[in-house]
């Protein structure tokens, strides 16, 4: 079982075990001093003997390789910036399901729509909720109303002090 600690702590522990071995201490004594199994000390010694001191460094888990390459992600970003209408959708709104469809069509890679949000976040994108507005909305008339009519119907501030 791995001891809790940072990579530096684990590397120090391994190197300390080998220093103690180099001082002609036994495997069992080194293991007892460091609180680990003798087989671990022996494994560390064998790693150093076969690969040098670099073999004792902590290796980070690489994880699963990404399905999309960096080049494909750049191409996806270009598609997203062009907009969903150019990609063949009727409305100008990207959803995770639509992005997943585009990725599958263009790159032959299938992602679950729930993962698309994480992928977009890694690419520097964020969720945006569109503002709902009527298609018959007349911005010029609204601006005119706010400028001319709103001051007339707005309640004046109270002139008396609160009690």
pLDDT one-digit tens code per residue, 84-140: 999 999 988 999 999 999 999 999 999 998 999 999 999 999 888 877 888 888 889
Is residue 41 within 8 A of residue 21, CB to CB? The reply is yes
Please state the separation of Cα 36 from the chain's center in Å: 35
Verdict on whether the full-model pTM lies above 0.75: no
pLDDT one-digit tens code per residue, 4-25: 678 888 888 999 999 999 999 9
Angle at 42 between CA 41 and CA 44, to 5 degrees: 65
Label residues 112-125 b or e (16+ Cβ within 10 Å = b): eeeebeebbeeeee
């Amino acid at each position: 079982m791995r001891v809790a600690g940072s990579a530096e702590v684990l590397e120090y522990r391994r190197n300390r075990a080998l220093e103690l071995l180099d001082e002609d201490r036994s495997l069992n004594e080194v293991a007892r001093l460091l609180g680990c199994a003798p087989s671990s000390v022996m494994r560390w010694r064998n790693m150093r003997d076969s690969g040098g001191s670099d073999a004792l460094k902590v290796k980070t888990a690489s994880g699963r390789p990404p399905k999309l390459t960096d080049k494909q992600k750049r191409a996806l970003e270009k598609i997203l910036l062009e907009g969903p209408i150019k990609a063949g959708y009727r409305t100008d709104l990207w959803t995770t399901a639509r992005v997943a469809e585009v990725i599958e069509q263009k790159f032959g890679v299938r992602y679950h729509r729930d993962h698309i949000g994480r992928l977009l976040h890694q690419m520097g994108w964020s969720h945006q909720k569109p503002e709902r507005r009527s298609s018959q909305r007349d911005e010029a008339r609204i601006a005119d109303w706010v400028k001319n009519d709103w001051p007339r119907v707005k309640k004046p501030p109270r002139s008396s002090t609160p009690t």
